[in-house]
């Protein structure tokens, strides 16, 4: 999958491209990430990428022209990449990470993981000239209703959530698709060595080797936690046939 991120802080993206499962996917060439700094597309000696807002008010607004050149460069890199892998008619939307965007959820992550690539536009300051957004942006995504200092961390959250879903990025011992957020429940408790920690033992069922009982115990723990901590998720939950059987036993 192809990513081009447009940001005046390109070094931040090392957190995604150099570490962990996402870093490995980049290292293997399963994911390509280009960082593009709008400052490299400025025409003035001060390499300006922001200016005071028309109409006054606090803060600065990012200039349209350097961002336009950065986006056109990203599109050229995308064309080159898709040409090199023989992909015709690729889907590669320009996504603006913005507090005004649609709040990211697993469904949006699934939709994004089906694109051939994405051009991610990261804002700083008070935002970006509206005329640039209306000319080039296909969609806006927020990662939640809290105020950050820029779009870079949201861009990396989006990239991380998408990259982990790509086939063969997560090997089978890493829970890729059956994650609790995918089956609609919170996760169950996890235990590993030592058998006793701070006088607390591991639940016997997990030591029993009885896989059906273990699966049932884990599911019922997920249910208990989801009911307690996220009644909103519990309300939406649709059990499978087997899960419904286990739930029926619970209510006996
Ligand atoms: O660029 C981002 N944030 C930087 C930022 C923060 C505040 C303002 C100014 N807002 C003034 C205002 N708001 C409502 C009324 N007036 C602009 C830009 C960002 C990208 S995705 C995301 N997801 C969750 N949270 C985020 O902050 C982000």
The Å distance, Cα 248 to ligand 1 centre, comes to: 46
The Å distance, Cα 126 to ligand 1 centre, comes to: 8
CA distance 44 to 46: 5
* Pocket, ligand 1, Cβ cutoff 6 A: 97-99, 123, 126-127, 142-144, 146-151, 154
Topology adopted by domain 178-249: 1.10.1270
Q: Which residues are catalytic?
A: 99, 126, 164, 179
Which atom belonging to ligand 1 lies closest to the Cα atom of 122? 1
- The DSSP annotation for 57-124 comes to -SS-EE-HHHHHHHHHHHHHHHHHHHHHTT--S----EEEEEEEEEEP-HHHHHHHHTSSEEEEEE--
Residues of the chain with CATH 3.40.1280.10: 2-172
ipTM comes to: 0.96
Task: Give the residue ranges of the annotated binding site for S-adenosyl-L-methionine.
Answer: 123, 143-148
Strand (E) or helix (H) holding 172: none
Grouping H, G, I as helix, E, B as strand and the rest as coil, residue 145 is: coil
pLDDT tens track, the chain, 252 positions: 999 999 999 999 999 999 999 999 999 999 999 999 999 999 999 999 999 999 999 999 999 999 999 999 999 999 999 999 999 999 999 999 999 999 999 999 999 999 999 999 999 999 999 999 999 999 999 999 999 999 999 999 999 999 999 998 887 666 555 555 568 999 999 999 999 999 999 999 999 999 999 999 999 999 999 999 999 999 999 999 999 999 999 887
Strand (E) or helix (H) holding 234: helix 231-236
> What is the dotted CATH code of the domain comprising 2-172?
3.40.1280.10
């Amino acid at each position: 999958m192809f990513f081009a991120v447009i940001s005046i802080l390109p070094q931040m993206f090392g957190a995604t491209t150099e570490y962990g499962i996402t870093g490995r996917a980049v290292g293997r060439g399963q994911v390509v990430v280009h960082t593009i700094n709008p400052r490299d597309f400025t025409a003035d000696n001060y390499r300006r990428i922001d200016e005071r807002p028309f109409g006054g008010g606090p803060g600065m607004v990012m200039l349209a022209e350097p961002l336009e050149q950065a986006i056109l460069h990203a599109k050229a890199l995308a064309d080159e990449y898709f040409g090199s892998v023989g992909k015709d008619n690729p889907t590669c939307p320009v996504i603006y990470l913005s507090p005004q965007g649609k709040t990211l959820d697993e469904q949006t992550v699934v939709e994004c993981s089906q694109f051939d690539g994405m051009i991610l536009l990261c804002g700083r300051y008070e935002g970006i000239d509206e005329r640039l957004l209306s000319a080039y942006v296909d969609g806006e995504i927020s990662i939640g209703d809290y105020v950050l200092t820029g779009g870079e961390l949201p861009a990396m959250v989006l990239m991380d959530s998408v990259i982990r879903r790509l086939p063969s990025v997560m090997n089978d011992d890493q829970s890729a698709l059956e994650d609790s957020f995918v089956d609609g429940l919170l996760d169950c408790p996890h235990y590993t060595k030592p058998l006793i920690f701070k006088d607390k033992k591991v639940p016997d069922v997990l030591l029993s080797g009885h896989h059906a009982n273990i699966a049932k115990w884990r599911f019922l723990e997920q249910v208990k936690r989801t009911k307690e901590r996220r009644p909103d998720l519990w309300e939406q939950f649709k059990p499978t046939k087997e899960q419904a059987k286990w739930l029926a036993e619970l209510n006996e």
